[in-house]
Amino acid sequence: MKFDIISLTVEDMERAVNFYKKVFKVEPEKENNRFSYFQLENARLGLYNPDADGVDVPFGENCVPAFKTNDIDTEHERLDGMAPEIEEITDNGSYRIFHFKDPEGNMVEVYEGEK
């Protein structure tokens, strides 16, 4: 079995797609009002609008995807003006980490080092 995709729930697909286009610097592989996804290096990040299916699901911190980087300072600086909320970088010894919220209220983690 191979991990393939993790999806975040969103209320405004256009806003979410535009945000992640800037974050990942790529266009989505698939994009519509119900489901969009971005092909990343080892997996896909999906965006799911449950309203399109008439489904009631919680939004926000129901899933925290983590992305590893080799330059956390540059990523923090780049995302600082883009993300509605962003934490300061924390040094946890073997790794450095910060979290930010996307425009849909989803918490996302960025880290450098080995957890």
- Residue 53 domain boundaries: 5-113
pLDDT in tens, 54-106: 988 776 666 889 999 999 999 999 999 999 999 999 999 999 999 999 999 99
Q: Which two tokens stand for residue 26?
A: 């790529």
The confidence score (pLDDT) of residue 30 equals 96
**47 has pLDDT over 70:** yes
Q: Which two tokens stand for residue 12?
A: 């405004």
What is the rounded distance in angstroms from the CA atom of residue 23 to the CA atom of residue 62? 20
Calculate mean pLDDT across residues 26-40. 96
Output the domain CATH number for residue 55.
Answer: 3.10.180.10
Q: Which of 68, 43, 52 is nearest to 16 (CA)?
A: 52
Number of domains in the chain: 1
**52 has pLDDT over 80:** yes
Hey, which residues does 99 pair with through a beta bridge?
109
Q: What is the pTM of this model?
A: 0.84
What is the rounded distance in angstroms from the CA atom of residue 83 to the CA atom of residue 15? 12
